[in-house]
Amino acid sequence: MKCIVRNSFIILFSIFNLVVFSVNAQKPDRSSPPKLAPPPSMSLPEIQSFKLSNGLPVLLMEKHEVPLVQVNLLVNAGAVLNPKGKPGLASITSAMMDEGAGSRNALELADAIDFLGANISSSSGLHTSKISLRTPLSKLDPALELMADIAMHPTFPEEELERQRKQRLTTLIQWHDEARNIASVLYDRTLFGKSHPYGIPSIGSEKSLKKFKTQDLKEFHTKYFHSGNATLIVVGDVTPKSVVQKLENVFGQWTSGKKAKVSLPSARQIQKRTVYMVDKPGAAQSEIRIGRIGVPRTSDDYSAIVVMNTILGGSFASRLNQNLREDKGYTYGARTRFGFRPEPGPFTASAAVQTDVTDKALVEFMKELNGILQPVTDDEMERARNFVALRFPSRFQTVSGIANQLETLVIYDLPVEYFNQFTREILSVSKADVQRVAQKYIVPDKMAFIIVGDREKIEKGVRDLKLGSLKMMTIEDVLGKPPVLAGK
């Protein structure tokens, strides 16, 4: 018996030593972050293209893992095509298209879409309008019929227009109490001017919203919504052979026409530092916008700008956010962004900071805007390139995400092989490239400063910084008087 106990003890002791040795042998080295493997190259399925009988272009990518289909109808008809004196027309036209179409009113249309387990929405931006359909493959035929009705036969019912009108006027009223919207409206106007579409809120104005008639919407739709001014994007569990006749059945008879031409007025670049302060008494925070006009999406410097901006303020670990949020605790988040568009959009550095540190926050903004003009470190370059490259494939995980990415090919006339080249182009950006584009596009001495906050508490500190001439404004100087709703 003693022998058995002794042998059992020896076995247990050996196992214990083996476990301890194994644990010690596998103890991780936490003295430095682990090295990332090289970002894998991305190879997407072929982007196939063809046209329907009426000339409507189609881009298609097969994705057969799940029986779902995404169909986006992209129309070259955004806010840049609003007629003079009618801001908001593209936006409200698009919003109204799924509020009644064909023989169905708004409720009947919504019920028909829900019955199929599908989702159809219409939206509008600066340069395009879009109708999006996501549907189970088994319901593709009836879902396409509903989508085609919305695209080609919207009814624009009067009662739904009144509802949209009231919603938008209410939103304009709410903006008077929302510092971020006050700052954004003034910032866009300051950069682009009152007559440039980029400087005008796409939602519309009180004057235009109150004047819109259903006829205005019908005329905009007739002028721009046709097969010669649109592209279909199809992603999902389909092939050209299985889907082309389905598309032909519903869109093949859509009338054609010429593609709309956009001619935007030139915007004058910011030539000196000017500070615009909008008084919002009692504000707990100050909304800050700093920047100037940037570059178009088609710029040859695009990849270098993306990497540079990631280091400056385009990620949580960026210099600006780490400074203002993590180090100083002035804000929940600070960021920089290039608004890439067909024409040069804005470069913006922004944050909402505590009122009592508004001046100190501006000092740190200037520190980082000037600092990015100097050479960046090897570590920053590696982290920024990997951040952009490793995140890029996530945009292609779903049928809707892929369709949204394919839209960029259409809007910016990019080559079909662009996506497979993206990671390589980002990883090829050098430190010299980053410094070059920073010095070219980040010009701290020629920027507009927009600050919306409590003037009584922030004016002296901001004035003492002597950033540039200081112009005081009221909320009504920016937004005008709050709209008056009908019946009030």
Contact 69/137 with Cβ under 8 angstroms? yes
Amino acid identity for residue 204 in this structure:
G
Cβ burial of 56 (10 Å; 0-12, 13-18, 19+) is buried
Please compute, for residue 224, the number of CA atoms within 13 A of its CA located in the half-sphere on the CB side.
Answer: 29
Q: How far apart are CA 122 and CA 99, in angstroms?
A: 10
> What's the CA gap between 403 and 135, in Å, rounded?
13
Instruction: Give me the tens of pLDDT residue by residue for the chain, a chain 488 residues long.
Output: 444 445 555 555 555 555 455 545 556 666 666 666 666 667 789 999 999 999 999 999 999 999 999 999 999 999 999 999 999 999 999 999 999 999 999 999 999 999 999 999 999 999 999 999 999 999 999 999 999 999 999 999 999 999 999 999 999 999 999 999 999 999 999 999 999 999 999 999 999 999 999 999 999 999 999 999 999 999 999 999 999 999 999 999 999 999 999 989 989 999 999 999 999 999 999 999 999 999 999 999 999 999 999 999 999 999 999 999 999 999 999 999 999 999 999 999 999 999 999 999 999 999 999 999 999 999 999 999 999 999 999 999 999 999 999 999 999 999 999 999 999 999 999 999 999 999 999 999 999 999 999 999 999 999 999 999 999 999 999 999 999 886 54
Q: What single-letter amino acid sits at 242?
A: S
Q: Are strands 448-453 and 285-293 parallel, antiparallel or unpaired?
A: antiparallel
Are 336 and 313 in contact by the 8 Å Cβ rule? The answer is yes
Tokens of 200: 């005008």
The two structure tokens encoding residue 313: 């303020």
Give first-to-last CA distance, the chain, whole Å.
Answer: 99
Amino acid (one-letter) located at 106:
A
227: DSSP letter: G
Q: Which two tokens stand for residue 402?
A: 């892929």
Structural domains of the chain sorted by starting position, each given as residue range(s) with its CATH number in brackets: 48-251 (3.30.830.10), 274-479 (3.30.830.10)
Q: Where are the alpha helices (DSSP H) in 285-398?
A: 302-312, 319-321, 358-371, 378-391
Amino acid of residue 51: K
Q: What is the DSSP-derived secondary structure letter of residue 79?
A: G
Q: What's the pTM?
A: 0.89
Instruction: Convert the pLDDT of each residue in 249-277 to its tens digit.
Output: 999 999 999 999 998 998 999 999 999 99
Q: Please name the amino acid found at residue 87.
A: P
Q: In what order do the strands lie in the sheet with 230-236?
A: 48-51, 57-62, 230-236, 68-75, 129-136, 119-124
Would you state the torsion angle of the CA atoms of residues 425, 428, 430, 436, taken in this order, to the nearest 10 degrees?
-30
Each residue of 407-423: pLDDT tens digit?
Answer: 999 999 999 999 999 99
- Rounded Cα distance, 319 and 394, in Å: 24
DSSP-assigned letters across all residues of 197-226:
GGGS-TT--HHHHHH--HHHHHHHHHHH-S
Please name the residues in contact with 93: beta carbons below 8 A apart, sequence gap of 6 or more. Answer: 124, 129, 156, 217, 220, 221
Beta bridge partners of 236: 62, 69
> Per DSSP, which regions of 300-441 are E strands?
331-338, 346-354
Q: For residues 479 and 476, give the distance between their C-alpha atoms in angstroms, rounded to a whole number.
A: 5
